[in-house]
Structure 1
Amino acid sequence: MSSVFEVLEKVRNKPGMYIGRPSVSDLFMFLVGYEYARSELGNALSAEDDDFYGEFQPWLQNKLGVKTVTSWAKIIMLYCHCLGFI
């Protein structure tokens, strides 16, 4: 099975094929589903994948100074909204 970074590259190249529309919340749910499917199939995460799932959100929270948010997608949406992108 592909690593999370290989999957992200595929999504980047053809987002409509994988998540339907350019949406950070849809990407988040897709990656959660991908992680779940790997777990159900008994495919262990690589150390690199485990780092992404375990460290990306805390890193993003620290970088943007956000303390309590339920997902990295919501942090990104909040940040974009504050900057006037949404």
Structure 2
Amino acid sequence: MLDLYDLLGKIKQRSSLYLGKKSLSHLHVFLDGYTFARRQLGIPVTEQETKFEEFQEWIENRFNQADTQSWSRIILFYSEDEADALKRFFDLFEEFLNSEQFPKIDATNNSEMSDELSVVGVNG
């Protein structure tokens, strides 16, 4: 079975095949159905699915929006139409994944981090 990120990659390549038309709203409904089906079958939540749940908060922060709208509604609001919103989703999702790979270092904790790195032999 495909994992979530592989499935999203396939949808990006052939969105009309999976969604009927290029539409962010269709993608959101598709993903809701995907999640529902997996839960009904008793398939455990994967690490990717757990990480994807953080996408909502990331979008809210990215667009400085309160948590009253779904990620798809926020993206759609800032897009020309459904097709543009779908394209923007994939761009934003890639940005989200990249931002998670390299967490930002809090400058206020640099001395603390430096001490921790010294303990494990990374610094001096």
TM-based fold match above 0.5: yes
> Which 5+ residue runs of structure 1 have no aligned equivalent?
none
AA paired with 1:75? I
What is the number of equivalent residue pairs in this alignment?
81
Q: Normalising to structure 2: TM-score of the pair?
A: 0.61
In 2, Cα distance between equivalents of 1:59 and 1:31: 18
Q: CA deviation at 1:49?
A: 1.6
Aligned to 1:62: 61
Aligned to 2:44: 44
Moved over 2 A (4+): none
The structure having more radius of gyration, on CA atoms, is 2
Q: 1 or 2 for the larger relative contact order (CA 8 Å, sep ≥6)?
A: 1
- RMSD across aligned positions (CA): 1.2
Q: CA deviation at 1:17?
A: 1.1
1:10-25 correspondence runs (5 A): 10-25=10-25
Q: Normalising to structure 1: TM-score of the pair?
A: 0.86
Residue 46 to residue 68, structure 1, CA distance change in 2 (3 Å): closer
